[in-house]
């Protein structure tokens, strides 16, 4: 059932809608604006306790790409043993690869 005045759109994160010239110009103007010209007086300061439970990227879901990858059998077996009932081992392999990439990226600066 469609509600009056409600517009819904399906968005494919892999194929974002192109920005208009006007939108691009507005973003460029905002990026060029000095930080000190931005009025943040209506934003209350957050206490330090707020940040103790903060999590980075909690809702970030990168686009997945299916591929065929050959891994050593002992590695796959190890990851399957770590996962409950052998489920989620691919997610764990992805997580291990991401951790490695992040460490290498930080090393490189």
User: In this predicted model, what pLDDT tens digit does every residue of 51-69 receive, in sequence order?
Assistant: 888 888 888 888 899 999 9
Question: How open is the CA angle 75-81-82, to the nearest 5 degrees?
Answer: 95
C-beta of residue 79 within 8 angstroms of C-beta of residue 72: no
Establish if 75 belongs to a structural domain: yes
Establish if 92 belongs to a structural domain: yes
Give the structural domain span for 74: 70-109
Q: How far is it, in rounded angstroms, from Cα 109 to Cα 104?
A: 9
Establish if 98 belongs to a structural domain: yes
Task: For residue 62, count other CB atoms closer than 10 A to its CB.
Answer: 9
Q: How far is it, in rounded angstroms, from Cα 47 to Cα 45?
A: 7
Q: What is the pLDDT of residue 32?
A: 94
Mean pLDDT of the chain: 89
Domain count, the chain: 1
Q: Give the confidence band of 104 by pLDDT, cuts at 50, 70, 90.
A: very high
Tell me the range of 53-57, 77-81, 84-88 where mean pLDDT is highest: 77-81
Establish if 109 belongs to a structural domain: yes
C-beta of residue 87 within 8 angstroms of C-beta of residue 97: no
Establish if 79 belongs to a structural domain: yes
Assess whether pLDDT exceeds 90 at residue 25.
Answer: yes
């Amino acid at each position: 059932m469609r509600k009056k005045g409600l517009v819904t759109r399906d968005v494919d994160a892999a194929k974002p809608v192109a920005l208009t010239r006007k939108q691009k110009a507005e973003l460029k103007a905002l990026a060029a604006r000095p930080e000190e010209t931005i009025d943040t007086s209506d934003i209350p300061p957050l206490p330090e306790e707020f940040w103790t439970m903060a999590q980075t990227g909690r809702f970030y879901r990168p686009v997945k790409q299916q591929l065929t990858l050959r891994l050593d059998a002992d590695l796959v077996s190890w990851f399957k043993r770590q996962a409950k009932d052998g489920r989620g081992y691919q997610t764990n392999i992805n997580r291990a690869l991401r951790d490695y990439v992040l460490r290498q990226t930080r090393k490189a600066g």
